[in-house]
Amino acid sequence: MAISLYDLSVPTFRQTVGAVAGFLDRAVRHCEETGADPDDFVDARLYPDMAPFHFQIEALTHHAAWGVKALTTGVFDPPPLIGSMPFADLRAMVGEAETALTTFTPDEVNGCAGKELDLQIGPRRLAFTAETFILSFSLPNFHFHAVTAYDILRTRGVPIGKRDYEGRLRTL
């Protein structure tokens, strides 16, 4: 069985974005049970020189929804980062990414196969095909930020585990 560009991207992003939504909900329930404030997670970091929780959520949503959008436009152009915001707004941002991912059709994404895509990062210009952009840039960055968000919550006592990170597996 051949795998398509759509199969590599949209369902993979949706699985993990759904999992992130789930562990954000678990964080809220944990706070309700313990009397903690979920906004205390917003600026939390794993290490002082690492980006905070809110950045992890923004970046993972950008790589998911805007990563797939880049396939269709040829340009990776996510909105500017917002910065620190209430935890509820981060949950809403994840919900918006979930919704955005449902708008891409297999024909639309698969029609981008082989398409060239340029990415400018500071002084560096990176030339990709649609496939190499998704597989070597967008998905690795997306998963890095998703797992870092998970790890921040876990280190702050939120009772989540591997199954929470996996999300809904795509079984037969």
Q: Compute the distance between CA of residue 151 and CA of residue 107 in angstroms, rounded to an integer.
A: 36
Identify whether 162 is part of a domain. yes
Identify whether 108 is part of a domain. yes
pLDDT attached to residue 56: 98
Burial class (CB in 10 A: 0-12, 13-18, 19+), 121: exposed
Tell me if residue 171 falls in helix, strand or coil: coil
Nearest Cα residue to 92 out of 155, 25, 150: 25
pLDDT band at 74 (very low <50, low <70, confident <90, very high): confident
108 lies in which domain range? 5-79+86-166
pLDDT attached to residue 37: 97
pLDDT band at 77 (very low <50, low <70, confident <90, very high): confident
The residue assigned the tokens 């970046």 is 59
Identify whether 172 is part of a domain. no
Q: What is the arithmetic mean of pLDDT over 60-72? A: 93
| From 51-60, 96-105, 133-142, 161-170, the region with the lowest mean pLDDT | 161-170
Q: Please check whether residue 35 is in contact with residue 44, taking contact to mean a CB–CB distance below 8 angstroms.
A: no
pLDDT band at 1 (very low <50, low <70, confident <90, very high): low
Tally of domains in the chain: 1
Q: Please check whether residue 144 is in contact with residue 36, taking contact to mean a CB–CB distance below 8 angstroms.
A: no
Tell me what the pLDDT averaged over the chain comes to.
94
Identify whether 107 is part of a domain. yes
Identify whether 65 is part of a domain. yes
CATH number at residue 75: 1.20.120.450
Nearest Cα residue to 18 out of 101, 104, 78, 137: 101
Token code pair at residue 64: 């998911």
pLDDT attached to residue 42: 97
Q: Please check whether residue 158 is in contact with residue 23, taking contact to mean a CB–CB distance below 8 angstroms.
A: yes
Identify whether 171 is part of a domain. no
Q: Compute the distance between CA of residue 18 and CA of residue 80 in angstroms, rounded to an integer.
A: 23
The residue assigned the tokens 């917002």 is 82
**For strand 124-129 and strand 116-121, is the pairing parallel, antiparallel, or unpaired?**
antiparallel
pLDDT band at 163 (very low <50, low <70, confident <90, very high): very high
